[in-house]
Structure 1
Amino acid sequence: MRGPAATALCAGALLLFGALVGLSAVWTHGRWWALALGAAATIAAELATPRGLLRIAYAGGWIAATAYFLLARPEGDFVVASDAHGYTFLGLALLVLALAVATVPPRGRTRPTMGAAAGPTA
């Protein structure tokens, strides 16, 4: 399978994978060592995905899963507390978003070839 179907399948898989990594990061963010491990796993997985749509899909899944738990629960409390661990986790979410957006390759620009950079020949 090649082309748009393969890209869509990979993007869907990375969306689900990002959601699972984000969910596990939320569940374990209460301990400093688990927060560090979750941050390392999150950033490593994001950097391992190719730039563009696939990295955006991973980051979108991660952010969607974590944003769900940043909202208030029906009891009135929060899963992510407003303490040092919670704010560090929120900073990690902003880092995931910034890294995904900043590494999107520009559209419409092509790289110069070796022949174009060589200059005129006489």
Structure 2
Amino acid sequence: MRAGLGLAALVVGLVSGAAGTLVHQRWWGLALALGAALATLAWLPAGGVRLAFAAGWCVPVLRGALERPGGGFLIGGDAVGWSFLAGSVVLLVAAVTTAATGRRTPGVDDRGRADDPGVRGLPS
């Protein structure tokens, strides 16, 4: 089930990244694309699912920044294009830095950390 969720997040990232690449030249498109991507990233559980979404988002953005066969670019070298690229980097960095927080460590139960004595250290 977890792999299916990761695959779905990757596909959603690919589609939304492609859509954002196509509409980022308008002010509302830039705000909508980056705002929706950051909101989705915050909503997804930390770990591989969040990383899959961010990687899927960055693939069409990177492709849009590369030169097309006709000689043009989908993401220009202007302030809007650089803002879109910077927002995509922020999205990827946020996903990478929070990827380890989704893992459970052995020896930790749901009541607290393994090294936290909590109330167990108090005499009864």
Category of TM-score, reference length = shorter chain: 0.7 to 0.9
Task: Give the aligned CA root-mean-square deviation in angstroms.
Answer: 2.1
Write out aligned runs for 1:49-64 (5 A): 49-64=44-59
The equivalent residue for 2:113 is 112
TM-score (norm 2): 0.85
Flag structure 2 segments of 5+ consecutive residues without an equivalent.
none
2:28 corresponds to which letter in structure 1? W
- In the superposition, the TM-score normalised over structure 1's length comes to 0.86
| Residue aligning to 2:123 | 121
Residue 69 of structure 1, CA deviation: 1.2
Identity among equivalent positions (%) equals 32
Aligned pairs for 1:93-104 within 5 A: 93-104=88-99
Question: Once the two structures are superposed, what CA deviation does each residue of 1:77-108 show, in whole Å capped at 9, x if it has no partner?
Answer: 21100001000001111111111011123554
Tell me which of 43, 46, 69 is aligned to 1:48.
43
Return the alpha-carbon distance in structure 2 between the equivalents of residues 49 and 112 of structure 1.
23
Distance 1:112 1:97 in 2: 28
Taking the aligned partners of 1:65 and 1:83, their CA distance within structure 2 comes to 18
Unaligned runs of 5+ in 1: 1-5
- Count of aligned pairs: 117
Runs of 4+ in structure 1 displaced over 4 angstroms? none
